[in-house]
Structure 1
Amino acid sequence: MKNFTVVLSSLRPVRFLIVAFTCALLFLSNVVPAFAITSTQSDPEKATTQLLETQRETDKVAKEPPPGLEEVQRKSNEGLNEVQGAADIEKQKRPENSQGATSVRDEVENFLGKVTGNK
């Protein structure tokens, strides 16, 4: 019990920092999901059609014996992978369509520059 009180008394100077960090963590964990509201909404009809087609393909493959190497390679070369094919390929982030994207590091440096007044 004596060790516990020694640890608590040694934490007294940093107690404010611990509380501030905990409050900031709680605040950010509640705010970040709100950013998802601004994202574009997809068409539910279109998504259901794609999902059903993927399910049909999965059921067909499950009823057959395991495919050979050549068949797997052929299907994989048609799109992103064997199961998904070319579905939503335009929405996937790849080096070809991400040339203008900024990295997380650049965004953080830009933000810190604005906060400190250096930019």
Structure 2
Amino acid sequence: MKIVASVLSVLRPVRVLVVAFTCALLLFSNAFPAFAMDSYQSNPTEGTTQLLDIQRKTDEAAKEPPQGLKKVQKESNQGLNEVQGAADIDKQKRPENSQGATSVEENVKNLLEKVTGK
């Protein structure tokens, strides 16, 4: 019993340091939860214009009878599709802008070559 009591008395400063470190870690993790997201600060009104235009078109379509084939084709040919038009066309992946991309199969082959060393 005396040995256990002496070992516990020796470990007391270590326990205090572990508790202090844990408290500091909890404090900083709660104080700065999104600290890593400082690379891009978005403007709150950034996407509002496109959304308002889409909402306006939606409201107009709800008030009118169903559209005919000619009108739908005309709207669809103006961009990616009838609803989006050409919005965010530069952000979407298409065959024209993804010529240098590697396929999933190539990625797996490269990974397997790295793992096996061949």
- What is the CA–CA distance in structure 1 between the aligned matches of 2:45 and 2:108, rounded to whole Å? 38
Question: CA-atom RMSD, angstroms?
Answer: 2.2
- What is the CA–CA distance in structure 2 between the aligned matches of 1:53 and 1:66, rounded to whole Å? 20
Shift of 1:67: 1.3
- What is the CA–CA distance in structure 1 between the aligned matches of 2:41 and 2:100, rounded to whole Å? 23
Which residue matches 1:31? Answer: none
Describe the superposition over 1:54-90 as per-residue Cα deviations: whole angstroms up to 9, x where unpaired.
Answer: 1111111111111111111000000111111111111
CA 1:41/1:80 → structure 2, altered by over 3 Å: closer, same or farther?
Answer: farther
Q: Which is richer in helix?
A: 1
- What is the CA–CA distance in structure 2 between the aligned matches of 1:47 and 1:74, rounded to whole Å? 25
Larger Rg: 2
Which residue matches 1:83? Answer: 83
Identity %: 69
| 2:63 equivalent to 1:63 | yes
Structure 1 unmatched ranges of 5 or more = 1-36
CA 1:71/1:42 → structure 2, altered by over 3 Å: closer, same or farther?
Answer: farther
| 2:110 equivalent to 1:92 | no
Shift of 1:42: 5.9
* TM score, norm. by length of structure 2: 0.61
CA 1:98/1:80 → structure 2, altered by over 3 Å: closer, same or farther?
Answer: same
CA 1:69/1:54 → structure 2, altered by over 3 Å: closer, same or farther?
Answer: same
Which residue identity does 2:76 align to in structure 1? S
Which residue matches 1:116? Answer: 116
Aligned pair count?
A: 81
Structure 2 unmatched ranges of 5 or more = 1-36
**4+ residue stretches of structure 1 with deviation over 4 A?**
40-44
| 2:46 equivalent to 1:46 | yes
* TM score, norm. by length of structure 1: 0.60
